[in-house]
Amino acid sequence: MLATRLLVLCWLLFTLGASRGTAQVADQPSPAPEFVSLFNGVDLQGWEGDPRFWSVKDGVIRGETTADNKTNGNTFLIWTEGRTKDFELRVTYRLTAANNSGIQYRSERIPADQARQAWVVKGYQYDLRNEVELPSVSGFIYDEGGKRGRMGLVGEIVTWKTDVGKQVQGQLMHQEEFKKIFRLDDWNEAGIIARGNHIQHFLNGVLVMEFTDEHAEAARGEGILALQLHGGAPMWVEFREVRYRALDQ
C-alpha cells in the first residue's frame, strides 16, 4: 500500500511539473521581428519624390538643392510601401550645416492642389541638424505642417495635453552631454520608438527626447514615413541604413 501511494505521488508531481513547464513555454512573448531595410543601396525603389532633388549617389540617398536648383518650400521623399504605427526606426544620416532636414513618421501627404508642390507631408518629425548648441540640434520632435512647432526639445521629457499644452516632466541631458554623443560633420544615427501615444527619440543609441501626446485632436496614431529636404538656403542631406520594424503594443 505504501509503495502504491508513493508511485501515485511521484506521478502527480511529474504531471504537475510537466504542465507548469508547458505553460511557461506557451506564455513566453513572441520574439520581436527583425529589422528590414527600406533602402536597397542602389536606387529609390519603394520611394517617391521630386527627381530634381533626390537621387542615389555612392550607395546613399542624397537630397540636394543649389542656388540654381531651388525647391519651393520643403519637399519630401516618401516611402510608398507601408504606413508607420507602432514601430522602431533607425536611420544613419549626415548633412550640411547650412540648413536642416528631418524624418517624418505617422504623417500624412498633403494633396498637390493644397500645397506648393507635389511632395509635401505633415505630421511628427525627428528634426535633423548639424549643430551642437542646444536647443537647435538633432533629435527634437517637430509638428511639421501643424500648429505646435517644437513639441519636445532635446533633453526633455514632455507630455502634451489638450487644455494646457506642453508640460516638461523631466530632463535627460545638458549641453556638454549632447556634445559627447553627436558627431559634427559626420554620420550619426537617428532612432525612433513609437508605441501608442508614447514616443522616444534616440541619437547614436542614447535617449535624447521622450514625448507623450495626450492631445485629443492633434495626436497621431499612424501615418506615412518620409525624408525631408528643407527649403531656403542651398543644402544637401544623405541617408543610408534605413532600418524599420513594426512593434506590437
CA dihedral 136, 139, 142, 144 (to 10 degrees): 100
How far is 191 from 209, CA to CA, in rounded Å? Answer: 11
CA dihedral 85, 88, 93, 99 (to 10 degrees): 40
Task: Write down the pLDDT at residue 4.
Answer: 46
CATH topology of domain 36-246: Jelly Rolls (2.60.120)
Task: Write down the pLDDT at residue 122.
Answer: 97
Task: Write down the pLDDT at residue 7.
Answer: 44
Query: What average pLDDT values come out for the chain (249 residues) when binned by 10 residues?
Result: 46 43 41 85 97 97 96 96 96 96 97 87 98 97 97 98 96 96 98 98 98 97 97 96 89
Question: In terms of residues, how long is the chain?
Answer: 249
* Residue 179 one-letter amino acid: K
Task: Write down the pLDDT at residue 31.
Answer: 53
Contacts of 216 (CB under 8 A, 6+ apart): 162
- The pTM score is 0.86
Contacts of 45 (CB under 8 A, 6+ apart): none
Task: Write down the pLDDT at residue 249.
Answer: 56
165: how many CB neighbours lie within 10 A of its CB? 11
> What are 159's strand-pairing partners?
167, 212
Q: 195 — phi, psi (to 5°)?
A: -135, 115
Task: Write down the pLDDT at residue 27.
Answer: 46
**Which residue's entry shows cell 505553460?**
23
Q: Are 157 and 167 in contact (CB under 8 A)?
A: no
* Residue 156 one-letter amino acid: E
DSSP summary character for residue 233: S
**Which residue's entry shows cell 547650412?**
98
Task: Write down the pLDDT at residue 84.
Answer: 93
**Which residue's entry shows cell 511529474?**
14
